[in-house]
Amino acid sequence: MPMAGAIRWQTALTALEPGDELARRRLGRGAAMSPHLSPDLVSDAQQLLAYTFMVHALIAASIVAVMAAVTGWFMVLRRESFAGHTLSVMAFPGAAAAILAGIPVAFGYFAFSGGAALVIGAGSVRRGRGGGVQAALTGTVQAAALALGFLLLGVYGGLLESPTSLLFGSFLGISATQVVSLAVLAVGVLAFFALVGRPLLFASVDGAVASAHRVPVKALSISFMVVLGLTAAAIAQVTGALLVLALLVAPPATAMQLTPRIGVSLLLSILTALVTVWLGLGLAYFTNYAAGFFITTVAFTIYLAARLIGTLAWRPRREMVGPRPPSKADGLRHASVEG
């Protein structure tokens, strides 16, 4: 059995809950025989669901995928992917600060991502939601946060417990408590979009017209940025800090390649994100490599396929009609105005 696989199984043994003796015995036998893919999908599913830590990982990843798909859809529409990336790397200084303070790493994720979201959101709306102003502020926050992370590591005088898991994700050690906390956060995030999704869509498509109709554009921008920060912190616990954007960008971008209809696009984004995390975690489980790599690879592959389908679908229409087809933004704009 490869050394990486042995280390993974030993780590999984320590991640089991105290009362899970049956899974502990199964996992102990698994340390001598690594799981393997087979043509029998039922057998593969049984291997995936044989251990509590893997069940927790699949549930947590599904919760995170739904949050990422909905939040990322608005992020892509608002062209704030750079802000999403910056909020995701807040996991690095957040983890360093949490370890230095002796508190759970997840607290550092949420505190730093939420704080950075407030800074970016409040600073951007003071001079209007101009792309240049927000990009400059976002880049400054990212650079300062990375520098702070290295400083905190120097003060700590040691190494992060698992830098590979922090940067590229891991499905080991996700407890039932973490699953519950992610579920509560997901309910809050989805409730936010259920309440303000319509005015947020209006403000995202045309902020000037939305302001003229007394839509609170600035408040919505700051609120959305905070939700984006919290979502990024949650995703980082599964994909790692460097690969959060794979779930925030790829599923919504895939959906927007296939349809301009808002409801269908959101649903496709959610389905794409779920398929991405399920396949990614499954491949990581059977191959002993980082989950974030497979999640990113699956997401990118699906996006390329959707882009190819979209290109082939529009080509005959361009040849017949002549002018360019309406863009996704045009479809969203008409849908938001007519709806």
Q: Give Cβ neighbours of residue 51 (< 8 Å, ≥ 6 apart).
A: 12, 16, 23, 26, 27, 30
Span of 60-69, 86-95, 109-118, 297-306 with lowest mean pLDDT: 86-95
Q: What is the pLDDT of residue 9?
A: 42
User: What average pLDDT does range 220-224 have in this prediction?
Assistant: 91
Q: What is the pLDDT of residue 80?
A: 87
- Sign for the pseudo-dihedral over CA of 138, 140, 143, 144: negative
Between 132 and 104, the higher pLDDT residue = 104
For helices 176-205 and 328-338, angle between their N-to-C axes, nearest 10 degrees: 80
CA gap 183, 89 in Å, rounded: 22
**Predicted confidence band of residue 178 (pLDDT cuts 50, 70, 90):** confident
- Which of 5-9, 50-54, 156-160: highest mean pLDDT? 50-54
E strands within 167-276? none
Q: Which of 60, 57, 45, 50 is nearest to 28 (CA)?
A: 50
Looking at domain 49-338, its CATH superfamily turns out to be ABC transporter involved in vitamin B12 uptake, BtuC (1.10.3470.10)
Q: What is the pLDDT of residue 298?
A: 93
What pLDDT digit, counting tens, does each position of 56-101 carry?
889 988 999 999 999 999 999 998 888 888 888 888 888 878 878 8
Mean pLDDT across the chain: 77
pLDDT value at 15 more than 80: no
Q: What is the pLDDT of residue 1?
A: 38
Between 327 and 272, the higher pLDDT residue = 272
What pLDDT digit, counting tens, does each position of 250-294 carry?
999 999 999 889 999 999 999 999 999 999 888 888 887 777 788
CA gap 157, 334 in Å, rounded: 56
Which pTM value belongs to this model? Answer: 0.77
